[in-house]
Amino acid sequence: MAFTHQITTNWQRGNDQFSKAVSKSADGEINRSIAVADGQTALLVSLALDVSEVKSLVIVADKAMTLKTNSSSVPDDTIALVAGEPYVWWDGSPATCLLTVDVTALYVANASGDDGTLEIRALQDSTP
């Protein structure tokens, strides 16, 4: 069964506007909503992502959070999330994917002053 993610970018200034959609499909999908308490410094989240097979990735938190991959003390990647601002990447994107190595675990920190929720949506080819 194939899953499809559609990523839409909108831009507007007054009456001047445009919208562009990109669709990506693959047979594997990860959808996670993770509650992260305020003051959490290294919440362990089991997550398996083969970065060479990821077709689309969206990460957003409703509070400012920091993600570390594979280790909380010596992470392969560190991603600082601004509250409410999604990180969006897709295969073919002009942006560089912030995940540089395969992920087996995430460590999440929340020092925002409030409990928050981390949302992860990923599409990957599980049978390349």
Whether 1 is covered by a domain: the verdict is no
Token representation of residue 120: 């992860």
Is position 8 within any domain?
no
CA–CA–CA angle 120, 124, 106 (5° rounding):
40
* Six-digit token string for 40: 């959490």
Number of folded domains that form the chain = 1
Q: Is residue 3 part of a domain?
A: no
- Is residue 31 domain-resident? yes
**Tell me, what amino acid is at 58?**
V
Determine, yes or no, domain membership for 12.
no
Judged on CB neighbours under 10 Å (0-12, 13-18, 19+), 62 is: middle
Please check whether residue 104 lies inside any domain of the structure: yes
CA gap 34, 116 in Å, rounded: 8
> Is 42 a member of any domain?
yes
pLDDT of residue 126: 87
Domain of 107 in residue numbering reads as 26-124
> What CATH number is associated with residue 101?
2.60.120
Tell me the average confidence (pLDDT) per consecutive run of 10 residues in the chain, 128 residues long.
Answer: 94 96 96 98 97 97 99 98 98 95 98 98 90
In a domain, 81, yes or no: yes
pLDDT given at position 1: 78
